[in-house]
Amino acid sequence: MAKQTTPEHEVVLTYKAGPKFIQYKVGGVLALLMEVDGVLIEFPIYGQAYRTIQDQFTIDVVKEESTYNIIQLVKKPLK
């Protein structure tokens, strides 16, 4: 189930360009940020979804924050 969060103000501003993925600096947990009816909601990514992302994408840091990085997922080339 999604957990409502209150990330730093900069994430809200950056979000306006589209949905963003973030990666926490402690533990490396990935999450998808989405806005629903004006409320910013964080969807943590665990289990098989996390393994699929690791297998198929490279994580590029777009912007560093104090406790997390805003990231972009780049598809790995086919072997």
In tens, the pLDDT along 11-64 reads 444 445 556 888 988 888 899 888 778 888 888 998 899 899 889 999 899 999
Q: Which domain holds residue 11?
A: 3-75
Rounded to two decimals, what is the model's pTM? 0.63
For the chain, the residue count is 79
The confidence score (pLDDT) of residue 18 equals 57
Q: State how many domains the chain has.
A: 1
Q: Give all strands of the β-sheet with 39-45 in edge-to-edge order.
A: 3-4, 39-45, 30-36, 20-24, 68-75, 57-64
Q: Are 13 and 2 within 8 A, CB to CB?
A: no
